[in-house]
A = this chain, B = another copy of it.
Amino acid sequence: MLKYKHILLYGFSLAMLLFLLKWLQLRFIIIDHAFEIYIGIIAALFTGLGIWLALKLAKPKVEKVIVEKEIYIEKGNGFTRNERALRQLNLSPRELDVLELMAAGLTNQEIAGRLFVSLNTVKTHSMNLFEKMDVARRTQAVAKARELSIIP
């Protein structure tokens, strides 16, 4: 739409110029060197027109400015589990259960009661999770799990 408008304008101004030229031709025909002046005017006018056209029609260069926006995660409010770290540890669901109850301060016997399994099973799970987390004690496991945002 806009481009056609420009082209029409261009054609119109060209026609007007031809009119102007005819008129000038009649007026300055007597003057010597009138032709050169005439050509100069035309050249200047059309150069200006070209410049104007170019400025109007030129595609603007698009420059992407990437603004880095810092977003701080509230650690106190909503706790979001670090799923990446959790996956990297490769804990089984049961082991995670045990870990969470450990973090809550329950004894192995209490954990066994909660999960409806035997004490020995809890011990096995805890052993396996200690190995996976590369720790030796439940308190260490809890501390590390907290660091990794696996538990609140």
Contact = CB atoms under 8 A, between A and B. Distances in A.
Q: Which of A67, A69, A139 has its CB near the most chain B CB atoms (within 10 A)?
A: A139
Nearest to A77: B75
Contact of A54 (B39, B51, B104): B51
Given A36-B18, A39-B42, A55-B54, A70 B67 contact: no
Interface in A67-96: 67-76, 78
A50 interface: yes
Interface residues of A, number: 56
A86 B45 CA distance: 71
A102 B139 contact: yes
B69 A68 contact: yes
Oligomer: number of copies: 2
A63 interface: yes
A78 B72 CA distance: 11
Contacts of A44: 46
A39 B18 CA distance: 8
A62 to B, nearest CB: 5
A143 B139 CA distance: 10
Nearest to A48: B50
A80 B59 CA distance: 49
Contacts of A14: 43
A107 interface: yes
